[in-house]
Structure 1
Amino acid sequence: MSNVDRWLLPDGIDEVLPEQAHLVEKMRREIIDLYHNWGYDLVIPPMVEFTESLLSGSGQDLDLMTFRLTDQLSGRLMGVRADITPQVARMDAHSLNLSIPGRFCYAGTVLHTLPRGPLESRSPISVGVELFGESSISADIEIIELFLNTLSVAEIGHVSLDLGHVDIVRGLIGEANLSVDLEAEIFDLLQRKARTELAVWISENIENEQLSAWFNKLPQLTGGIEILETAKAALDGAPEVVINALNQLETAIHSLDTSHLNIHLDLSEMPGYHYHTGIVFAAYIQGYGKALGNGGRYDHVGEAFGRSRPATGFAFDLKTLVSQGSCSQSLSLGIFAPFCPDSSRREEIKSLRRQGFRVVEGFENQVIDYEELKCNRQLVKIGGKYIVEFLS
């Protein structure tokens, strides 16, 4: 290995340098304060856990994304977290065991074995919330509103909110009583919007004419909020779970302030089909090719921990919010205090720092570069008194 190679980071692992780190931390504080104001308590789960706990009920996707290592104390297998939601579910089920709905928020680095997409980080800073113990549509609405408020704090405008409900497809599949293999086939066709292939598949595998018609209409049920009325007519007579899903989406949309929000519905979309259980959502902006953040309901997440409570939540990558937002406040420039063995100088520096000023002390014989020091003022002694002067 050459000397140059020694300092290279692994693909997908990034570092955050001072000016950007300042913005990331500022954003983190503002977002956590937002969540606190909504009643969400901050939790800090550990970076590693035993895999039987970390991956309980999380599905194969998260399993493949998780780095594993052997605990040198117990000999048991541990995993480095790739998602914080299962950890918070464990805390809700065992560490806290609340009788009321639990509202939690978090911000921490996660690690992925592979990037989720081209050029994506394998070490995002995940920030989000989880709400446990409330199954009503009011909980979904609260979570979506807080999701949108997070984007406002990040100063991200012209947002497109994608909404869906997994019970629409799941309800029709349940009515069809398909095998696991056939279910996987129609899931793939619906996600690819392969209408011609889907029509052929339906003719070969679905005998019920009404059910066949409903499945064929699903890929067409995409568009603005007006598509709900189209869906109600197209799926008239569908199983009750499907109709309830449409009604929930309608209730959620009517509860949101849509004056500055573009809402897009795709009623055949099923992100996290084997994980989510109700309303799902994601946020997009023009010019950014993937979701800024996503979330939804996942009522079975606590089953593996012996306490199945209704659950919903969302997560963002904090670094993405900073890079895509309008927050461009740079690090506040400080005050340079040249080296001088003077006790009154030390007292003045303490006073300035207590007032919230950034003060950088010089060393004896130090070469001074104010730009690198990030200072635009200097502490000087005039007439026996210390004052702060702007640098010329």
Structure 2
Amino acid sequence: MTQLWLLPEYIEDVLPEAAWQIEASRTAVLSLFRSHGYDLVIPPHIEYLESLTGGVSDDLDLKTFKLVDQLSGRMLGLRADMTPQVARIDAHLLNREGITRLCYAGHVVHTRPNGHLSSREPLQLGAELYGSTTHEADVEVIGLAVEALKVLGVPQVQVDLGHVGIFRALCRAAGVSGLAQDDLFAALQLKDQPTIERLTADWPADLQSGMRALPTLFGDAAVLQAAAERLPALPDIQQGLASLGTLADVLQQQGMNVSIELGELRTGKYHNGLVFSVFADGWPNPVARGGRYDNMGQMFGRARPATGFSLDLRDILRGLPCGKLPRSILAPQQMDAALQDTVAQLRAQGEVVIRDLGEGAPVTSHQLCLQDGQWLVLPRA
């Protein structure tokens, strides 16, 4: 007989204490976003497949569950990343002039987990800033990511900066694109030096040595000088290194721990410039990721500069102590008018009041007791 209570691998229920912690944390982070002027949007869980993945990235396509729409016959997808959806809203529905700030919170679904301890149903929270090409926009987004993690109770974090444009500049100069570039990108993320050497074997010497150097170029901001000496003097590379230097200086002035990692591009392939990952002790994977994805809106009819970040709330909270349920108060089974008024007042104040139905009193921390004609909240024996 099929065990109907079993769930698919890497899919799980969230039980009361964790569920309340998730909801309280979600509300706190969205309140933070709102205080910075970010407007909340709620995209649908399901869209036409090409809207979710078309022209964005092959890795996103592989993450997306696909099905046939019984009304139109077209292919649908369950969203695996909300960033393309928010870019669609900015470009096609809002169509605002100037800077637009948007935020979101909702579950996405992945065909495969990102890691052994990851869920295939992350709870993605994020913020996106459209319409600005400035370093100030990138600083705002990175600062907001760090502040959101503080709200969640994540301890001191480390911000790693990278730049996809440097990798792509080397590939363009070598005439490499498509699957060959994807294979090289994957090898770079794995620090697979033998594969990098094999894939660049027939490259010009300066481009070859530059690509092979990327995995070794990490550390504090001083590594940018070494990168300038070891990488070919292509305009896009020089611009990328200068941008990273400016950002690192500003973020360090704001008290953040910053490092540079030119071979670490842990992000969606739709990013095209600055990328960043935020790390914290106790979490094996980044607790937040983001970067620039200029012109994604072009597929929806309006190219826009864009920068943003997202985090998986459920993954972060797994590394924190589970929040305690609020205190609860047991109310007697028989309620007179005075007791009903007392219960209503307590609930209006945010208290949890549970009525005793006479079939086994629920476990509560307190109870309502009648003393000298008044209903009082007392610790439960």
User: TM-score normalized by structure 2?
Assistant: 0.92
Deviation at 1:181, TM superposition (A): 5.7
Q: Which amino acid aligns with 2:351?
A: F
Q: Work out the CA distance in 1 between the residues paired with 2:375 and 2:282.
A: 51
The answer (yes or no) to whether the contact 2:328–2:366 under 8 Å persists in 1 is yes
Find out whether 1:227 has 2:216 as its counterpart.
no
| Superposed displacement of residue 12, structure 1 | 1.0
Q: Deviations over 1:105-131 (max 9, x none)?
A: 111011112212223111111111111
CA RMSD of aligned residues (A): 2.3
Give yes or no for contact 2:52–2:85 (8 Å, CA) kept in 1: yes
Partner residue in 2 for 1:23? 21
Match of 1:84 among 82, 85, 88: 82
Secondary structure, in 3 states, of the residue corresponding to 1:116? coil
The residue aligned with 2:359 is 366
Provide the rounded CA distance (Å) in 1 between the counterparts of 2:120 and 2:186.
26
Is the Cα–Cα contact under 8 Å of residues 219 and 267 in structure 1 kept in the other structure? yes
Q: In percent, how many aligned pairs have the same letter?
A: 39
SS of equivalent to 2:29: helix
Report the counterpart of residue 313 of structure 2 in structure 1.
318
Which residue of 1 is the match for residue 368 of structure 2? 379
Tell me if structure 1 keeps the 8 A contact 2:165–2:240.
yes
SS of structure 2 residue aligned to 1:6: coil
> 166, 170, 179: which one pairs with 1:168?
166
Give the conservation status (yes or no) of the 8 Å contact 1:278–1:297: yes
Q: In 2, distance between residues paired with 1:186 and 1:367?
A: 64
Select the residue among 382, 386, 390 that pairs with 2:379: 390
Amino acid at match of 2:338: S
Paired AA for residue 331 in structure 2: A
Conserved? CA contact 1:43–1:106, under 8 Å: yes
Letter in 1 for 2:289: N
Whole-Å separation in 1 of the counterparts to 2:142 and 2:208: 33
Determine if contact 1:159/1:262 at 8 Å carries over to the other structure: yes
Mapped to 2, the partners of 1:179 and 1:278 lie a distance apart of 17
CA distance in structure 2 between the partners assigned to 1:10 and 1:180 by the alignment: 34
* 219 and 52 in structure 1: CA distance in 2 versus 1, 3 angstrom threshold: closer
The question of whether the paired residues in 2 share the 8 Å contact of 1:57 and 1:303 is answered with no
Structure 1: any 5+ residue segments left out of the alignment?
none
Q: 1:273 to 1:238 in 2, by over 3 A?
A: farther
Residues 181 and 80 of structure 1: is their aligned pair in 2 closer, same or farther, counting only changes over 3 Å?
Answer: closer
Aligned-residue offset at 1:61 = 1.5
Residues 1:239 and 2:234 are matched in the alignment? yes
Sort the Cα spacing of 1:92 and 1:197 in 2 relative to 1 into closer, same or farther, 3 A. Answer: closer
Tell me, yes or no, if structure 1 residue 43 matches structure 2 residue 41: yes
CA spacing shift, 1:120–1:198, aligned 2, 3 Å: closer
TM-score, normalisation: structure 1:
0.90
| 1:353 corresponding residue in structure 2 | 347
* Matched letter for residue 77 of structure 1: M
Distance 1:192 1:378 in 2: 57
AA paired with 1:349? V
Aligned residues: 381
Q: Indicate how the Cα distance of structure 1 residues 106 and 338 shifts in structure 2: closer, same or farther if over 3 A, else same.
A: same
Structure 2: 5+ residue stretches without partners = none
Aligned to 1:218: 214
The 3 A distance-change label for structure 1 pair 90 and 341 is same
